[in-house]
Amino acid sequence: MNLTDSTATQIRAACSAAASAAPVYARLPISHRAALLRALADALLGARETLVPLADRETRLGTTRLNGELDRTVFQLRGFATQVENGTAQPLLDDPAIPGAPPLGRQRLTRIAVPLGPIAMFAASNFPFAFSVLGGDTASALAAGCPVVVKAHPGHPGLSRAVFDLAAGCLAELHLPEGVLQLVQGSGVDVGLALVRDPDIEAVAFTGSLRGGQALWREANARPRPIPFYGELGSINPVVALPAALQAHGPALATALAGSIVLGCGQFCTCPGVVVVRDDDLGQAFVRQLAEGLAAATPHAMLHAGIRAGFNAGVARLHGHAAVKTLVAAPAGGEAPGAHLFATDATSFIADEGLREEVFGPSCLVVTVKDLDETLDVLAAVQGSLTVTLWGADEDTPDNHRLVVAAQRLAGRVLFSGVPTGVAVTAAQQHGGPWPSSTNAASTSVGYAAMERFLRPVALQDAPAWLIQRRGQA
Amino acid sequence: MNLTDSTATQIRAACSAAASAAPVYARLPISHRAALLRALADALLGARETLVPLADRETRLGTTRLNGELDRTVFQLRGFATQVENGTAQPLLDDPAIPGAPPLGRQRLTRIAVPLGPIAMFAASNFPFAFSVLGGDTASALAAGCPVVVKAHPGHPGLSRAVFDLAAGCLAELHLPEGVLQLVQGSGVDVGLALVRDPDIEAVAFTGSLRGGQALWREANARPRPIPFYGELGSINPVVALPAALQAHGPALATALAGSIVLGCGQFCTCPGVVVVRDDDLGQAFVRQLAEGLAAATPHAMLHAGIRAGFNAGVARLHGHAAVKTLVAAPAGGEAPGAHLFATDATSFIADEGLREEVFGPSCLVVTVKDLDETLDVLAAVQGSLTVTLWGADEDTPDNHRLVVAAQRLAGRVLFSGVPTGVAVTAAQQHGGPWPSSTNAASTSVGYAAMERFLRPVALQDAPAWLIQRRGQA
């Protein structure tokens, strides 16, 4: 299925409909907002038999993965519904008046949060359910009381339309304005630019490439009235495999890491792109086991030709690099790309920025280090990342303290076991790290704190009782 | 006292010292961090007899106001110390592991907040204590665990140096690194630009003009690694005086409003620059009373010649405007500027952007409206503001709902009584509104939530127990 690009008039109409719906939707009783989220979840579940095959035809991600992703998306919509019911989307902090002169004396202040208004949401190619039309950004914006204008990803146009039609049916059934969810589409940059520039859009949520995200972020800042831009961009997700962990579980960790690298053909923002190991017998054995695991892996085809071309260029760059050894490679021509493993030393890694760039796909670069200091130097050279994984840093030692501080400085999530792929939807989750992995490191695009992106605090001074009871939803 | 501009080398050294101090300061036991804040408060109090006269010589704000401002600054430092002791600066949210497959099954996730690192802080001219060297931005950054590099305001160089020397003494006494608080100074733009560009700076807090703030905000975004910029810029703070309020308390409200307009010679970011009244007998009586109050007021001299020149230009623009009537004016030449009151109608106000610009100083523009719809149109025309005041909107009526929604959309604080000047330091406070009143409407520069600007969430996955106990301060 091919969809025609939305015209400027259609984009304007979508944003205008969202703006008209915004005050109606924001004032909706909280139970109705939750009911919409639950209805959307039910609609997805009910259409599984149609949606998953359609998604598979368009993305080649396989029905097992896509069924799991649909379950995750349903779980997420229901989770946000529960948050709405619990009041998390409508926080209230009340400071009573204190008689007397300032600074102690004060009027009554009640801090609430108000929805920003229409959100532009850019769907991702690699999660056709979970980061697309009814994915996490949409669920969190709707939970926060904001309408959403989705820019469908051209990688799965038929699925985007089908899911949108389901959602439109839910809105109609619940007698909610169509403007609460709108869909625009475009394969070039123009539709995205028009959306970010639209005066009715109050914030942008984006998941995608560093280049595309940065361009749209600049556009959001260049508006006469700049708006928040929440971009989740590229990340190389370093894994540090310390001797203690390799001694205890080397082979199991090698198998787990190989699985994480090839999962979804490496098309995950949390795919581990760098593994840091000591240049000793344990480290060498681990790298051999990792290489065996990757050589035996059979990743599926990539999402589209553009991603594949980028991957081929990335591995070719490493393959031809004087300071890089190719440990596992596959011919560039097959339908699926095949896993790749490369190796370099800390000095070369630190010296060449090109070695620290993300290669989106099933490829990993081993960086061998002499000691802890070199490990820290390697981490200091890496740009902001979504995750850092530290295997074997469990003991309360000065060395581990230094590693933890370096990892926290670099990333939004620090793992002490397991692999970075697989991002749980929960209140404590943080999926967003320092620039350039995110444009706003204080925000998350996964988990319930994602709602905060679309709310703004307002302090009501001496507010009437009826308004406080309604948490400002006048 | 004149201070020489800091050289590029001095700025680099200040930022580098702050970066070296950052991990040491972040790891400090929480009681030590609180002790520093309390020691700074005590030092300010102890030096009142020297500092207030010095501040008065440099700013002409008067000793009553300056003593009050010093008290507020002390209160604020102690308030943040209490927040630190209560754990507010080190939030922790723990989601236990759930066995089983995702999406429900998950590893343990612990959400903490880590300090960003060195903060560049631009002191304001109009609050030589409360928004300067040891003001709210510094107190909140130190509470969050971040070192601060202050750019002193050239309007009060001697006071800035004296307060900084006190702070340096406190750091020495507590055996803390000098880098925890650094001071740079400069009367031109170069020092500010160098500070924002410095690679060791992790975020910027700014209070000042729209023009200066926007330029520095762009610079923060143009860095190779952009950083958060928290700017508190201009605002016209509309006051809507509804008939119900004027009927009940017209004369008292006129007196209060006149006092708020001339307070500190109008040099407050929350100074009410626009008052919206109905074009009826009550409204006309209120405007007459307001004019009498302002004609009788004797504001003190302004902070410096630049602010005065800006004020003169602003009132001249209104004075010469075809659609504006001058109700109160004073000759431009006196040492103090004298209060000004102007009037226009809703249509003219909406048609001309120039009428909606802030005039920083003791000036207010009356906008007469026919009805509620025109009131809403006037509010819709105003750009983002720190405050909106609604007098007489206490009843639970559809009209008041519409006003409240419009006010919340426009501002970070909505008042239902009193005047916008005077911003209490409390947990519920929100001093920051939609663009251009702030560069980040989700943040506040007054009140305890100001700490959040300098913290970033990190999710620890399967973290060892010792690390969770220390809330990530490894």
Show residues of chain B in contact with A412, CB under 8 Å. Answer: 456-459
Is the pLDDT reported for residue A335 higher than 90?
no
Strand partners, A278: A369
Show residues of chain B in contact with A444, CB under 8 Å. Answer: 457
B339 touches B297 (CB < 8 A): yes
Return the exposure string of B235-269: e unless at least 16 CB atoms fall within 10 Å of the residue's CB, then b: bbbbbbbbbebbeebbeebbebbbebbbbbbbbbb
A3 belongs to a structural domain: no
At B344 the pLDDT is: 98
Residues 200 to 239 of B: which have CB under 8 A from any A CB? 218, 221, 225-228
Measured CA to CA, the distance from residue A187 to residue A184 in angstroms comes to 11
pLDDT tier at B189, thresholds 50, 70, 90: confident
Show residues of chain A in contact with B456, CB under 8 Å. Answer: 412, 434, 441-442
At A288 the pLDDT is: 98
Is the pLDDT reported for residue A323 higher than 80?
yes
Measured CA to CA, the distance from residue B84 to residue B76 in angstroms comes to 12
CATH code assigned at A149:
3.40.605.10
What torsion do the CA atoms of A163, A165, A170, A176 make, to the nearest 10 degrees?
Answer: 120
Show residues of chain A in contact with B106, CB under 8 Å. Answer: 424, 426
- How does DSSP assign B35-103, residue by residue? HHHHHHHHHHHHTHHHHHHHHHHHH---HHHHHHHHHHHHHHHHHHHHHHHHTTTS-EEEE--B-SSTT
Is the pLDDT reported for residue B333 higher than 90?
no
Measured CA to CA, the distance from residue A54 to residue A66 in angstroms comes to 10
B83 with B223, same domain: the answer is yes
At B259 the pLDDT is: 97
Number of domains within chain B: 2
pLDDT (mean) for B247-254? 98
Residues 178 to 197 of B: which have CB under 8 A from any A CB? none
Measured CA to CA, the distance from residue A110 to residue B16 in angstroms comes to 40
A431 belongs to a structural domain: no
At A270, list the tokens.
């949390």
The DSSP H or E segment spanning B206 is: strand B203-207
- Chain A, nearest residue to B94 by Cα: A428
B258 with B222, same domain: the answer is no
A343 with A452, same domain: the answer is no
8 Å CB contact of A459 and B429: yes
Is the pLDDT reported for residue A1 higher than 60?
no
The mean-pLDDT minimum among A1-5, A155-159, A212-216, A232-236 falls in A1-5
A432 belongs to a structural domain: no
B371 with B455, same domain: the answer is no
B196 with B282, same domain: the answer is no
Strand partners, B275: B239, B366
Angle between helices A157-173 and A48-59 (to 10 degrees): 150
B373 belongs to a structural domain: yes
Distance from CA of B105 to the nearest CA of A (A): 8
Domain limits for position A201: 8-233+438-469
A398 with A463, same domain: the answer is no
Write down the residue that tokens 């939970």 correspond to: A143
Show residues of chain B in contact with A264, CB under 8 Å. Answer: none
A421 belongs to a structural domain: no
B153 with B226, same domain: the answer is yes
Q: Which DSSP symbol is given to A255? A: H
pLDDT in tens, B28-45: 999 999 999 999 999 999
Tell whether A372 is within 8 A of chain B (Cβ): no
Measured CA to CA, the distance from residue B348 to residue B346 in angstroms comes to 6
ipTM of the complex, rounded to two decimals? 0.97
Phi then psi dihedrals of residue A295, to 5 deg: -65, -35
User: How much of chain A, in percent, has pLDDT values that exceed 70?
Assistant: 99
Is the pLDDT reported for residue A171 higher than 70?
yes
B79 with B127, same domain: the answer is yes
Distance from CA of A464 to the nearest CA of B (A): 5
pLDDT (mean) for A419-446? 97
pLDDT in tens, B12-26: 999 999 999 999 999
At B338, list the tokens.
């004298």
pLDDT in tens, A340-384: 999 999 999 999 999 999 999 999 999 999 999 999 999 999 999
Q: Which DSSP symbol is given to A56? A: H
- How does DSSP assign A184-199, residue by residue? EE-SSSHHHHHHHH-T
pLDDT in tens, A26-76: 999 999 999 999 999 999 999 999 999 999 999 999 999 999 999 999 999
B62 with B180, same domain: the answer is yes
Measured CA to CA, the distance from residue B141 to residue B148 in angstroms comes to 7
8 Å CB contact of A459 and B107: no
CATH code assigned at B287:
3.40.309.10
Show residues of chain B in contact with A424, CB under 8 Å. Answer: 95, 102-103, 106-107, 109
Task: Work out how many CB contacts closer than 8 A connect A with B.
Answer: 211
Is the pLDDT reported for residue B337 higher than 90?
yes
Is the pLDDT reported for residue A206 higher than 70?
yes
- Chain B, nearest residue to A385 by Cα: B458
B22 belongs to a structural domain: yes
Question: Using CB atoms, which residue from B418, B427, B429 is nearest to A462?
Answer: B418
pLDDT in tens, B64-118: 999 999 999 999 999 999 999 999 989 999 999 999 999 999 999 999 999 999 9
Distance from CA of B60 to the nearest CA of A (A): 22
- Chain B, nearest residue to A65 by Cα: B102
B422 belongs to a structural domain: no
Question: Using CB atoms, which residue from B95, B429, B430 is nearest to A426?
Answer: B95
A402 with A332, same domain: the answer is yes
Is the pLDDT reported for residue B3 higher than 80?
no
pLDDT in tens, B389-421: 999 999 999 999 999 999 999 999 999 999 999
B254 with B225, same domain: the answer is no
pLDDT tier at A333, thresholds 50, 70, 90: confident
Is the pLDDT reported for residue A178 higher than 70?
yes
8 Å CB contact of B429 and A460: no
From the candidates B232, B358, B374, B452, which is the catalytic residue?
Answer: B232
B111 belongs to a structural domain: yes
pLDDT (mean) for B301-330? 94
pLDDT tier at B2, thresholds 50, 70, 90: low
At A3 the pLDDT is: 65
Mean pLDDT over the full length of chain B: 96
Residues 156 to 175 of A: which have CB under 8 A from any B CB? none
**Can B232 be counted among the known catalytic residues?**
yes
8 Å CB contact of A461 and B415: yes
B115 with B98, same domain: the answer is yes
**Can A395 be counted among the known catalytic residues?**
no
